[in-house]
Structure 1
Amino acid sequence: MSKPLDLSLPTALILIDNQSAFTHPDNLSDWGTGRSNPLYEVNIQALLLAFRSARTASSTFMEVIHIFHSSVTPGSPLHPSHPNNGIRPLDFATPASDGSEPVFWKSVNSSFIGTDLEAHLREKNIRQIIVAGLTTDHCVSTTVRMAANLGVVDRMLDEGPVKIKSDGTHVKDVRVQKGRIVLVPDATATFGKGGFDAETVHAVSVASLDGEFCEAIGAEEVVKMLRKH
């Protein structure tokens, strides 16, 4: 059993690249061979519904954040000019119509490059993020790694960034109150590549993140935690 979510902390659900380019039959060969996690769509929907319900009932700040990809490569299924309109959000992960769910557009793997996501998380004092979406080994992995490296959910208890001397020692001791990064592996998916099937690529990607950059908690467990809030 995983450690429960701490929903007394300001929390964001970050959904990455839930866009039609990844499901359109004409585009599947662009991504690889087959796709992992047949329950991805069901689990994303359950996660989003549970988070929205918890947010409505919570006195703590909770926010859904949507990250979408707009490629700069002509011909890419995620380029704005593509005839299949691949940048369109999938129906089950469309941002709320009332504008209460921020949307950030990126053009690279990291959700933090070329966007205001980092500034937004710090402004809102987000201390816990829950990450899901596409694809496990590319944009999801890169975003989780950068979130951890940037310390976007951490709180510095001493002023100033970490400063390191030329010999590798620290200029001064730094105290950090750690936030929490949660990855929902079965609400993410990827494709086979390099001779490895999709489930293997997915599993190895999650294993590389879990315990080092984030905590991996299954969708059913996260949904139960949200419903108890």
Structure 2
Amino acid sequence: MNPFSSAPALMILDMQKGFDDPYWGKRNNAHAENNTFRLLTEWRKRNWPIFFSKHLSLDPQSPLYHKNDQGIQIKDLLAPKAGEKVFTKNVNSAFIDTELEIHLRQRGIKSVVITGLSTQHCVSTTTRMSGNLGFVTYLVSDAIAAFEITDHQGTVHPPETVQELELAALHKEFAVMMTADQVINRLT
């Protein structure tokens, strides 16, 4: 019996090949894609709603995410199957200038389970908007990953710290934090 209020949508954000490029620097959570795949497998078995997003830069000089670049392709392990909706976006949030919210509302979906890349960009922004739009939002902490960042003073912050602080900021205010195991255990 599913303890979620109804079949939640699985959202797989920007799990694109471009994030494998050294351009991004150090990354945490090397298992994010595998944990996402475990969830994707469970959702497919149950025939529950699955939504993907992918980032497409409007800038033809973008080194990784322009329409003619391999970087925009979703990673092979997580490639969408026929009938699984992919929303192409040009900003961090999967809700802005896409029909994601419309699809969720039309299907009566009240809760979402979020996975993807990167924690400090699309994952954080989409999670915040999901919570603000009134969806019960679950963020899968081991099915997302952060990259190191350099702040305005030139200090480099390791990806583990970025992840920890992003999750702390999102916790309770915008989403319920869960691991992939916790999500799967709630499904059985």
Is TM (by shorter chain) over 0.5?
A: yes
What's 2:144 paired with? 188
- Pairwise CA distance, 1:10: 3.5
1:199 counterpart SS class: helix
Q: Deviations over 1:8-61 (max 9, x none)?
A: 5142000000110011xxx322x2x30011211221111111221133xxxxxx
- 8 Å CA contact 2:15–2:54 kept in 1: the answer is yes
Once the two structures are superposed, the pairs formed by residues 78-117 of structure 1 within 5 Å of their partners are 78-82=65-69, 85-96=70-81, 98-99=82-83, 101-117=84-100
Aligned: 1:75 with 2:75: no
Q: Give the alignment of 1:119-198 within 5 angstroms.
A: 119-151=102-134, 153=135, 180-194=136-150, 195-198=156-159
d(CA) in 1 for partners of 2:43, 2:7: 13
Structure 2 residue aligned with 1:177? none
Counterpart pick for 1:9 among 1, 6, 11: 6
What is the aligned residue count? 182
Residue in structure 2 matched with residue 41 of structure 1 by the alignment: 33
| Aligned amino acid, residue 168 of structure 2 | A
Sequence identity (%): 38
State the secondary structure of the residue aligned to 2:53. strand
Q: CA RMSD in A?
A: 1.5
Where does structure 1 lack aligned partners over 5 or more consecutive residues? Answer: 56-61, 154-179
Larger Rg: 1
Alignment match, 1:21: 18
TM-score, normalised to structure 2, is: 0.91
Pick aligned residue for 1:200 from 146, 161, 183: 161
Task: State the AA in 2 paired with 1:110.
Answer: S
- SS of equivalent residue, structure 1 residue 37: coil
Give the gaps of 5 or more residues in structure 2: 151-155
Aligned to 1:158: none
